[in-house]
Amino acid sequence: MKISIFGMGYVGVVCTACLAKRGHNVTGVDVSPSKLGLINDGISPIVEPGLESLLQSGRAEGYIEVTLNGYKAVHDTELSMICVGTPSKPNGGLELQFVERVCQEIGRALKDKDSWHLVVVRSTVLPGTVSELIIPILEEHSGKKAGWEFGLCMNPEFLRESTAIHDFDHPPMTVIGELDTQSGDLLARLYEDLDAPIVRKTIETAEMIKYTCNVWHATKVTFANEIGNIAKTLGVDGRDVMDVVCKDSKLNISRYYMRPGFAFGGSCLPKDVRALAYRANQLDVRHPLLSSIMDSNNEQVRRAFNIVTGCGSRKIGMLGLSFKANTDDLRESPLVELSELLIGKGYQLQIFDRNVDQARTFGANQEYINGKIPHLAELLAKELRDVIEWADVIVLGNNDQSFEAIAAEVPEGKQVVDLVGFMKTRSNGTSVGICW
């Protein structure tokens, strides 16, 4: 394939070398003559193990050339990658002037090009940037329609400095955000030799995936550091702690708990987060991340409250009261907190939870239910259908599988608020998800 890569910075030059190694003809485009001169001589403009030898091989075998002329590069290739930098502004926003310039240049070239061309955004940009900035610039300067007269994809990179070549050759996945199928098909051909799944999503999803991965990595580093700081102050080696924590691939290093949804609750997580944060305060060990966890969890309850009250009805049916299905445990249940917020604001409420209703009479939670939340116990209904028929808004509160059918087929004249993730689609006129 003939490829032009705009921006010979870190990502651009690594992609140039790795694609040339696979036999693609790559034209590197940059505004810096000195940088292009180095690449032309087989010298890497950045420090990256193994990169210089790949550049030398690519130049010697005729797979790599460089140019200042972006117009010609577009006309001589079938695919253009945008790999320019998106540095931070002083306010934390992204500086997109380099992206804008390249898009203008590519757009002007597309205007005079007869054949279909694919534009691939490899630069890291926030969700909405492609649709709100990049596509309009390309269409304005080309006079052509994206997704029809030229193709467009978002293709986030996951390259780490010092291991970038290995990361390119052995990615965990290849993410393609496609505007149209033709664009996605062509870009997928570029990666078909890699032993990794190709994930094809919408452009906005691909944009968000990149940021989510990077912020998650940053969060893990910060979490491990705060745990290490507290552990050391207590005379414990934080490395020993985290080494054992990471051996658990069922819960700790896994998909478990990694689903957007409602707040956590139960008898363990809230109290243990508070206890460790309290102990850190006693030790005068700052822990900004850990201390924010309960605030964030409480914010998710407030978010659910705003969604429910935003439906515009005062008759609310809540399905589930325990913090998860198949238990009668109401300790620290966020659904109890949500119920009390609704009652406090004068909303009518009926609740169905088969396990809690049984526990009210027979279970270990009997004293808690009758002593701590008798006002909620009085609102418990015996039959699911009674709550559904009475309520205008039905809240799917925990993952009792008997509630899933209500998300699949909303009862006529009702609204459903899904806090669990039963919905197969995004929010619409009759169903609203807390994170979808």
CB 110 within 8 A of CB 117: yes
The secondary structure element, H or E, covering residue 13 is helix 10-21
CB 207 within 8 A of CB 177: yes
Phi, psi of 5 (to 5 degrees): -120, 120
Burial status of residue 330 (CB atoms within 10 A of its CB: 0-12, 13-18, 19 or more): buried
Determine the length of the chain: 436
Residue for token pair 């969700």: 127
CA angle 298, 301, 307 (to 5 degrees): 145
- CA–CA separation, 341 vs 347, rounded Å? 9
DSSP 159: P
Helix boundaries (H) for 235-333: 238-245, 269-282, 288-309
- CA–CA separation, 199 vs 262, rounded Å? 27
CB 415 within 8 A of CB 393: yes
| Partner residues linked to 421 by β-bridges | none
Task: Output the CA torsion 69→5→27→98 (10° steps).
Answer: 20
Helices (H) and strands (E) in the chain, counts: 19, 13
Per the residue annotation, which of 103, 153, 246, 268 is the catalytic one? 268
Is 268 annotated as catalytic?
yes
61's CB contacts (< 8 A; 6+ apart) are 20
Residue for token pair 């944009």: 207
DSSP 325: T
Q: Return the active site residues.
A: 268
